[in-house]
Structure 1
Amino acid sequence: MKTSKLSIYILGFILSGFFTSCDKFLDREPTSYSSSGFYQSEAAVEDGVSGVYAALNINLAFNLPFNIMLDHWTGLAFERAENTTIGAGGSLNPDNGSVSQWWTANFNIITRANGVLTGAEPHLEKLQGKSKQYLAEAKVLRAFAYYNLLAAFGKVPFFTKPVTPEEYNSTRTDEAVIVDFLLTDLDGIMNDLPWIATARGRVDRSVAYGVKSRLGLLAGSLNYANKGPAYFKVAAEAAKQVIGQRVLANNFEDLFNKAGQQKADVRNESMFEIIYSDKGVKKTHMIGFGQVSRNYGQTGRHPGQLLADTYECKDGLRIDESPLYDPKKPWANRDPRFGYTLWMHKDTVEGNTNGTETGRVKMILDVYQPTTKIFNFTTNTWNTGTNADINSGAAWTSFANAGVGLMWKKYSNEKIESIGAQTCNSIVMRYAEILLNYAEAKIELNELDNSVYDAINQVRKRSKMPNFGIERQGNQEKMRQIVRRERKVELALEGLHFVDLRRWKIGDLENEGPSYGYPLASRAPNGTITQEGYDLVTPDMVPNFKKSARHDLNDIANYDAYKNKLKVRDQNRFWNDKFYLFPVPQRELDLAPALGQNNGY
């Protein structure tokens, strides 16, 4: 039960410097105190656990919830600058600041949780009220942080109590040992938690089972201690406990904007959230501002074509198999989640720059022309204006230039508040994931039954997609394909693919070459567009998903047959299998050499 020196230093701040938050149970900043003898009352325990929650405010990019950034470290999305995506452009090394921050932030959660749990231990018999619930919450958050570390770094230092100086220069603990402890630990606190927390933002029993299912999927997929099947069984059973305790929201889009998140059905699906608020001590983020058009935002993160081409047509067939797919109009006849998640050329986008009527924005996206249509809300007319995505000093960062013609609509389709100061919550875990966790674990166990089929089809039905084809039933490989497809299209931009890529070992497929996108236009010698790219598309410009059996299984599109006709970025993109694990940060190794480095770094 040990940790590194850096994590020891964090311990000194465990009970001071808490971040404030908007929700009632976090909306205070306790004075500095020693944990020794403090946790003798419900109020003290609640105060201490508030500090654990506060440590979830991890910004891996400026004013951005951590989970939003994680999927940009995969092949499905990328950051603004070329070849900088962690794990695919050579920037992944022991001195990488984001890698170091992810290590430190998760150990901060663990250290704070351990401080409260250890401080309260001598007083357990006399603690009353909700004290046991709050302590159980601390254990759930600790398990969540260890899950993040295991997925990113593999073996890590493991401790369940504040460490002593003798433990400073520690070694790392095998993954299975950590997972087994956490699974048992979570089992021991389930009855201390309500199924649905009364205070939004708190973890509850459904989240505890959700973390358990994540741990089981991770350990099962990577076959920790050669116990893969046993861990998949844990994942399935944990997810099964939640099925029926929660419901899916009626409308997918409602999950990701301020107005929708006020609805009871959305609250029910959103099991674990990072809470934001425009009341009291205001707490905001800038998800939308960093992923929209340069006409009203900054555009720092981009979805990729590999993700876009994973969405089926509305008949339930992949685009290379569906007669409904038209490469001239790739947005047409698609899974509705395509349009709920992504914006692209010729879409009408809406937003708000200041949260008032005067800040409303409505315009037509264009990846080709220097002008576009912009709506004037005063005169209720469409006017032609400068297209900053093409014709501005900052156009190099736009979805047309730094991106491949796609923008995130998820968390950006915000009409009632400023995209530069958003207070919609950031979802860390929701019921749709639980259904897919259950289905995947059962599929890996080859226990294919109606409960598996129903779990996947519930998620599809919510977005008005048909049930998957009956020919998949009973076929493990075909079921594996559909559940992986659903995880990508349902949960994009929620931080889960960062781990899925590692579990499924598909980093080489997603990052085997450049990122391709929209069709290039025809231009005159002076640069003027003579014919837009989509007008030049031919019927054979359909991605090839069958370059190999692994490409087919994982829905990885290949564009080699017509790549010279497409927008391209990340020409130097590459993959090395060492990227499946992050390097141990160098500053950690400098303080604790016994940690050792992951292979290849």
Structure 2
Amino acid sequence: MKRVLVYMLAGMALVGTSCSDFLDTIPHDALSPSTTWQTEKDAEKFLIGCYDGWADETGILYWDCASDFGFNFHVHENYRNIGNGSMTASNAVADYYKFGMIRRCNDFLTNIQNIEFADAKKKDNMIGQVKTIRAYTYFNMNWQYGGVPIIDSYETAEEAQVPRNTEEEVKKYIYDELDAAIPMLDDAPAASGYIAKGTALAIKMRSALYYADYQRAKEAAKAIMDLGQYELDPSFENIFMVSGQNSKEIIAAVQHDENLYSNWMIATMYNNSDAGWSSMVPSKNLIDAYEMSNGLTKEEAGSGYDPVHPFANRDPRMAMTVLYPGMDWVNYKGEETIINTLDKEVNGKTNPDHPGTANNSSKTGLTWAKYLAPMSQYGDVWSSNAQTIIFRYAEVLLTYVEAENELNGPSAEIYDMLDQIRTRVGMPKVDQSKYGTKETLRELIRRERSIELAGEGLRRADILRWKDASGKMVAETVLNAPLESFTGTINYDEKDPYKRAVISGVELVENRSFAPHNRYLPIKQDALDKNKQLKQNDGY
């Protein structure tokens, strides 16, 4: 099928400088709407322009670094200061306070009204797609900053200098826009990469869950199920491989092509010996979160957990999500090797993957397996067609069970959906006697969501929105703790890859802190300088 990325360059060329930064003045060299908005074909090209960057791939891959499940060593990449709580308006912090996409969508929605379509449904469908993109952009900004200006259009920079709307006002705007867009959309996309009902419903679902509007989240999740287009992939690993890009589990993904619109982000995730940067890596906290293969947590009596061999007998998703020390690996040269991030020297030579060797070595001694394994699936990891997932069906099931449990408590329906996710990877079904109350089932649902979706950019939002028994954000506990890594050695004589790592202790990676005001990001200083009516978030 045709993909949206095939037309990306053409759409971007037409959009040109008219999609300048939100707070810039109207450029004198912008293409005139009177000469560029003439036909349905013109609208199609501008529609593609609205897709360029609509889902922030960098954010998806980096966001777990801002949680207890990940780490970003390189400060200039803008997520380390979020993870350790040292954010300010002027230091290196990811900037999501951007209105370029909003402006692009506003221009589209204004100018498409002047074009006559042979089929009114086609026009409505295009409008629905752009409304969805705009709503998703506002949702991401609103969640990160807690209220931003709602501006549908403006002619001058001065008109754009308005105060922030409240978080609740922006949330209502997002909800209303999605509710208006969804009926306009086709049930299935015309080609891979376009937005149809499933993607818009997924945005509705996620935004409602984040704001604890559980009935709305449940209804959106059920609507996705009722479309009948999506299902769990029989293979968990397959979803994140090139071979799985057409999986029925994937609802939306960032489209890439090796030649036209390649992905270089995946290459930055590999460890030093594979010529990567270790830009975003998983943490020991994630390893500790996995159940044992018998369904018990590692802290429970009878679990069989061995701290000397912490990777042994764990939920199979651990080895499908994380590249851990001791596992077999085929490196970028095509050589069979064993991952060793524990020993400072290997065969008398400096180990390039030991955390202390280089800035590019993983400081946690761990690397993500999602998208990275096997390395041989890519001809050139710096120019790959890896497609980062935005929404997948497992999130739909996990959203439904969380919302339903919060609304009504345990049910056979919840257990069945959790069992679908667990048995897919060979884990035992839920022990219903153990997880038989709303509170105990909540604990399991949160853990299941955390490990199933690890590395997919959702953990930070989850620990911000989840509350403990005292009403505190979970982030206040898990991010007010030192980040640590395993220490030990690799036993090369051991045949079992799960037991090759002989762990002797832990060492500090980074001290971290989290204050309640860290719930929101600081608005960058340059945005405050451009719009004097903006008010900075408290605490910054």
- Report the equivalent of 1:232: 214
- Report the equivalent of 2:243: 259
- Report the equivalent of 1:592: 531
**Deviation (angstroms), 1:131:** 2.6
Alignment CA distance shift 1:129-1:41 (3 Å): farther
**Deviation (angstroms), 1:216:** 0.8
Match of 2:150 among 148, 158, 165: 158
Q: Verify the 8 A CA contact 1:513 1:574 in the aligned structure 2.
A: yes
Q: Verify the 8 A CA contact 2:82 2:93 in the aligned structure 1.
A: no
Alignment CA distance shift 1:337-1:40 (3 Å): same
Match of 2:310 among 330, 350, 353: 330
Q: Verify the 8 A CA contact 1:153 1:581 in the aligned structure 2.
A: yes
Alignment CA distance shift 1:567-1:520 (3 Å): farther
Task: List gaps (5 residues or longer) in structure 1.
Answer: 1-20, 59-63, 221-230, 353-358, 374-383, 523-531, 538-564
**Deviation (angstroms), 1:189:** 2.5
Q: Verify the 8 A CA contact 1:236 1:441 in the aligned structure 2.
A: yes
Is 1:93 the counterpart of 2:88? The answer is yes
- Report the equivalent of 1:175: 167
- Report the equivalent of 2:284: 305
Distance 2:156 2:484 in 1: 52
**Deviation (angstroms), 1:587:** 0.9
- Report the equivalent of 1:368: 342
- Report the equivalent of 2:5: 23
Secondary structure of 2:305's aligned partner: coil
**Deviation (angstroms), 1:78:** 0.8
Secondary structure of 1:569's aligned partner: strand
Alignment CA distance shift 1:316-1:34 (3 Å): farther
**Deviation (angstroms), 1:127:** 5.9
Q: Verify the 8 A CA contact 1:217 1:441 in the aligned structure 2.
A: yes
Alignment CA distance shift 1:189-1:327 (3 Å): same
- Report the equivalent of 2:62: 69
Partner AA of 1:569 in structure 2:
V
Distance 2:208 2:503 in 1: 48
Alignment CA distance shift 1:472-1:118 (3 Å): farther
- Report the equivalent of 2:326: 346
**Deviation (angstroms), 1:580:** 0.7
- Report the equivalent of 2:519: 580
- Report the equivalent of 1:518: 486
- Report the equivalent of 2:392: 430
Is 1:416 the counterpart of 2:377? The answer is yes
Q: Verify the 8 A CA contact 1:502 1:580 in the aligned structure 2.
A: yes
Secondary structure of 2:433's aligned partner: helix
**Deviation (angstroms), 1:108:** 1.9
- Report the equivalent of 2:353: 389
Distance 2:39 2:524 in 1: 38
Q: Verify the 8 A CA contact 1:118 1:162 in the aligned structure 2.
A: no
Is 1:458 the counterpart of 2:437? The answer is no
Q: Verify the 8 A CA contact 2:324 2:367 in the aligned structure 1.
A: yes
Distance 1:236 1:471 in 2: 25
Q: Deviations over 1:518-553 (max 9, x none)?
A: 14569xxxxxxxxx996575xxxxxxxxxxxxxxxx
Partner AA of 2:89 in structure 1:
P
Secondary structure of 1:182's aligned partner: helix
Distance 1:477 1:275 in 2: 40
Partner AA of 2:255 in structure 1:
I
Partner AA of 1:595 in structure 2:
L
Alignment CA distance shift 1:467-1:288 (3 Å): farther
- Report the equivalent of 1:407: 367
Q: Deviations over 1:425-483 (max 9, x none)?
A: 01111111111111111222234322222222222222222222112555111121111
Q: Deviations over 1:88-112 (max 9, x none)?
A: 4354111134433x222xx222221
Deviation larger for 498-507 or 83-92: 83-92
**Deviation (angstroms), 1:72:** 0.9
**Deviation (angstroms), 1:503:** 1.0
Q: Verify the 8 A CA contact 1:41 1:131 in the aligned structure 2.
A: no
**Deviation (angstroms), 1:324:** 2.8
Partner AA of 1:207 in structure 2:
T
- Report the equivalent of 2:20: none
Distance 1:440 1:90 in 2: 28
The percentage of aligned residue pairs carrying the same residue is 27
- Report the equivalent of 1:9: none
Match of 1:49 among 47, 50, 54: 47
Distance 2:434 2:52 in 1: 44
Q: Deviations over 1:323-371 (max 9, x none)?
A: 232222211111111000011121112343xxxxxx4243211233355
**Deviation (angstroms), 1:596:** 0.5
Q: Verify the 8 A CA contact 1:213 1:239 in the aligned structure 2.
A: yes
Secondary structure of 2:94's aligned partner: helix
Q: Verify the 8 A CA contact 1:74 1:498 in the aligned structure 2.
A: yes
Secondary structure of 1:516's aligned partner: strand
Distance 2:58 2:359 in 1: 25
Distance 1:455 1:80 in 2: 37
Secondary structure of 2:440's aligned partner: helix
Distance 1:286 1:188 in 2: 34
Alignment CA distance shift 1:478-1:444 (3 Å): same
- Report the equivalent of 1:381: none
Q: Verify the 8 A CA contact 1:45 1:135 in the aligned structure 2.
A: no
- Report the equivalent of 1:243: 225
Using the size of structure 1 for normalisation, the TM-score is 0.77
Is 1:199 the counterpart of 2:162? The answer is no
Q: Verify the 8 A CA contact 1:337 1:489 in the aligned structure 2.
A: yes
Distance 1:429 1:254 in 2: 15
Q: Verify the 8 A CA contact 1:22 1:282 in the aligned structure 2.
A: no
Q: Verify the 8 A CA contact 1:371 1:385 in the aligned structure 2.
A: yes
Q: Verify the 8 A CA contact 2:331 2:337 in the aligned structure 1.
A: no
Distance 2:158 2:358 in 1: 55
Q: Verify the 8 A CA contact 1:35 1:115 in the aligned structure 2.
A: no
Secondary structure of 1:99's aligned partner: coil
Distance 1:495 1:343 in 2: 18
- Report the equivalent of 2:204: 212
Q: Verify the 8 A CA contact 1:351 1:419 in the aligned structure 2.
A: no
Distance 2:128 2:91 in 1: 34
Deviation larger for 81-90 or 461-470: 81-90
Distance 1:431 1:520 in 2: 38
Secondary structure of 2:81's aligned partner: coil
Partner AA of 1:365 in structure 2:
I
Deviation larger for 135-144 or 113-122: 113-122
Alignment CA distance shift 1:363-1:439 (3 Å): same
Q: Verify the 8 A CA contact 2:325 2:501 in the aligned structure 1.
A: no
Distance 1:501 1:298 in 2: 27
Task: List gaps (5 residues or longer) in structure 2.
Answer: 17-30, 467-472, 491-498
1:480-519 correspondence to structure 2 within 5 Å:
480-504=442-466, 505-519=473-487
Partner AA of 1:499 in structure 2:
A
Q: Verify the 8 A CA contact 1:153 1:584 in the aligned structure 2.
A: yes
Partner AA of 1:135 in structure 2:
I
Distance 2:54 2:368 in 1: 24
- Report the equivalent of 2:431: 469
Distance 1:133 1:55 in 2: 20
- Report the equivalent of 1:148: 140
Partner AA of 1:589 in structure 2:
L
Q: Verify the 8 A CA contact 2:142 2:167 in the aligned structure 1.
A: yes
Q: Verify the 8 A CA contact 2:320 2:370 in the aligned structure 1.
A: yes
For this pair of structures, how many residues does the alignment match? 501
Distance 2:32 2:531 in 1: 26
- Report the equivalent of 1:121: 113
